[in-house]
Structures are given as structure tokens and as C-alpha cells.
Amino acid sequence: MALKASRRGRVPPFIVMDVMRDAAALEAAGRKIIHLEVGQPSTGIPRVAAARLAPLIERDALGYTVADGTMVLRERIARHYFETYGATVAPSQIFVTTGSSAGFLLSFLSAFDAGERVALAAPGYPAYRHILSSLDVEPVLIPTGADTRFQVSVAHLDAMRQDRGGLPDGLIVASPANPTGTMIPEDEFRSLVAYCHEHDIRLISDEIYHGITFGPRAVTAAGLSPSVIVINSFSKYFSMTGWRVGWAVVPDDLYRSMECLAQNHFISPPTLSQWGALYAFDGMEELNANVERYARNRLTLLEALPKLGFADLAPADGAFYIYADISRFKEDAATFCRRVLHDAGVAITPGIDFDPYRGDKFVRFSFAVSEKDVAEALVRLGELGLPSNRD
């Protein structure tokens, strides 16, 4: 008798992690690799937070907390919504999670049953659809383009309404988005939230890149609808990727379900990380300086990449990504990224990770690194001899 493996594990890989693995192998062989593939700040937790954690480690047992996180952190996150957006969110709506990844898993488990349908934009963060598929929830990809800033619109949902499949049970949006960095204009965002509430579509708003914007104002879905779920994280703006702590703003009808699921799946978020997250709110000056660096890197790339042949770039309103069309280079994205990694020592991510339909013609650059690394990456790309450089 042969043992079998669950089909839930037959999801595609998260390709950016494969790129990181290949880059690490080259580094182990002595190569200097510039990492523009991963959405990870090159800076760490704010210094003020790190200083306050040291004595805590020495004197505290750091045992379990309750499943939804410490009340002091939940209260501080609730205050953040009022200070940042003018939105009133009660601490009883805040659910602290083991990173945004756990937030998505708990949200999907509490909101959707197997066989239900959840819509999301393509291109978009691949883990959305992979987690949904592993839970036997059907991801419905909506191909988007520059006409809607690579974002799902009310018009897209109306078109689905006329289709035989009908409206989805849920919708995931991200503004700013990964991989494009685009944002949904405020009036359109509010209309989308209202449409979902009116048509009983559970909206999940991924807001993990809030705080990293370059002009347009980020709008939170918190407070706009009693049925929406908001996911956020301390990984991006707060520079705490490895600490694995995030949060969700959870509707009343789902809170107890999410609590029971979290108790069984995770017990509680990491205790030390919760204290670090609380103290990170005191490091806003340092964190805003990080965003200023991202802004300079963004401008550098927006000016330089077209000169290297990357002519069609998604509008990078926020986050720290540039999504670029590479169709003129006559290579698929995976082949192109391998060549850039091995020949130039620059790691970038193929668009097929984000869009299974058209992603083989796109790549994503992350500019969360230092200004020095961005400058060096551009020099290396210029020396690579891309087809367009010779045209």
C-alpha cells in the first residue's frame, strides 16, 4: 500500500522565494548579489524599539498571550487608525496575527467555505490565490491593465454579475498593490467598498503597504463598512519582516470564529514581537526617513529604467515596487530573470509569479534596498547588453 500526500500541497511555489534561493546559492559561491527581488526593507526595527526590548528580554518570561494579542498593542493599533486616517476603530475589532500571512489564512477560513469563489486582480500577490486553493476556495482571477491602474473596479464586478458565474463570494484588493505599486483612487475605493457591502461580497482589504506612498493618500477600508476585513502588518512600513507580527480589523460576525481558529492553529502571536510592534510606533521619525529613501530610489529607477529599455512601467504610487514590461527583450520573464541574476548578479522577480496569464512579459523590481545598491544594480544592468541597448 502506497501512502499518499494531500492535494492541498499541490499549489504552485512562491517564485520570489525560489529566486532568493538561487541568489543565495550564488552568494555562497562568492558572488555579490544585489537583491531587488524581495519586498523586504533593508533596514530593521526602529532603534528606539530595539533599545526598549533588551531589558524586557532579560526580566520577562515572555510566555503566551491570548490568541488575539495583548490589549495594550490592540489599543495602540486602534489609536493609529484615528491618528492616521481619522477613522474610529475599537480595540475589540483588532486581532493581532502571526504576520499578515496568518491574517489571510484566518480570514479565509472564517469567511469562506470550500467551493466558494473569491475574486482578485491579476497581477497580484500570489499567496492570495495559493492559500485560497489550499483551502478548496476557488480564486477567480480578474485580468487588469493600465486602464484601471491594474486594480479591480466596480465595472469588473458588474461584468462578472452578467456572466454565468455571477458575483463572487469575496474580493481581495490591495492599495498600494504588490507587484505594481498602484493605488485605487479614493472615490473609486469608496465605491468599491459600498458595492461589495450592497451585494454581500466579503471584501478583504490588504493594507500592508500603507505608510509607503508617494503622493496619493492611502484610504483604509476600516470604518467604511461593517462587513469588511482589513489586513495589515508590521513587516513593510515598520521594517519588521522577520518578527512575524501583523493585525486584522475584523467584523463582529467573524471575530469569535477567528479567535477559535487562531487558538487552534497558532495559540498566540509571538510575545516578543508584539512588544516590538508596540514600541515601533515610537519610531515614526526613523520609519518616515526610510520612506524618503524609498522615494529617492523610486525616482532613480523611474528615470533610469526606460533608458535601459524598460519602457512601460506601472504607475508606482506606493509600496516599493516597479512592475515593468519586458516584451521588447524577446525573452520570457523567467529566462530573463535567470540571465540577469547569473550574468549581472542582480536578482529580480519574474511577473509569472503575480500573473499566470500575462506575467511572462513582466518583471518586478523592489527598491526597498539602499540607494547604493540601486545605483550599483543600474550600472550592472547597463553593462549587461540588453537587446534594446543594442537596437
Three-class HEC string of 99-159: HHHHHHHHHHHHHCCCCCEEEEEECCCHHHHHHHHHCCCEEEEEECCHHHCCCCCHHHHHH
296 within some domain: yes
Q: What is the pLDDT of residue 390?
A: 42
Domain final position from 283, 313, 343: 283
Q: Number of folded domains in the chain?
A: 2
207 within some domain: yes
Do residues 117 and 172 share a domain?
A: yes
The pTM for the full model equals: 0.94
| Nearest Cα residue to 278 out of 234, 212, 248, 229 | 234
Q: What is the pLDDT of residue 387?
A: 64
Residue 241 CA to residue 237 CA, distance in Å, equals: 10
Domain ranges, residue 154: 62-283
**Backbone region of residue 116 per phi and psi (left: phi > 0; alpha: psi in -120 to 50; beta: other values):** beta
Q: What is the pLDDT of residue 222?
A: 96
Residue tagged 491594474 (cell numbers) = 150
Do residues 300 and 274 share a domain?
A: no
Do residues 98 and 128 share a domain?
A: yes
All three cell numbers of 255:
471575530
- Torsion over CA of 243, 208, 50 and 42, rounded to 10 degrees? 90
Residue 224 CA to residue 139 CA, distance in Å, equals: 25
194 within some domain: yes
Domain final position from 283, 308, 332: 283
Q: What is the pLDDT of residue 98?
A: 97
50 within some domain: no
Q: What is the pLDDT of residue 1?
A: 58
Q: What is the pLDDT of residue 195?
A: 97
Do residues 97 and 200 share a domain?
A: yes
Domain final position from 235, 254, 283: 283
Neighbours of 143 (CB within 10 A): 12
Burial class (CB in 10 A: 0-12, 13-18, 19+), 61: exposed
**CATH assignment at residue 119:** 3.40.640.10
Summarize the chain as % helix, strand, coil (round to 5).
Answer: 50, 15, 40
Low-confidence ranges of the chain (pLDDT < 70): 1, 61, 164, 387-391
Do residues 194 and 326 share a domain?
A: no
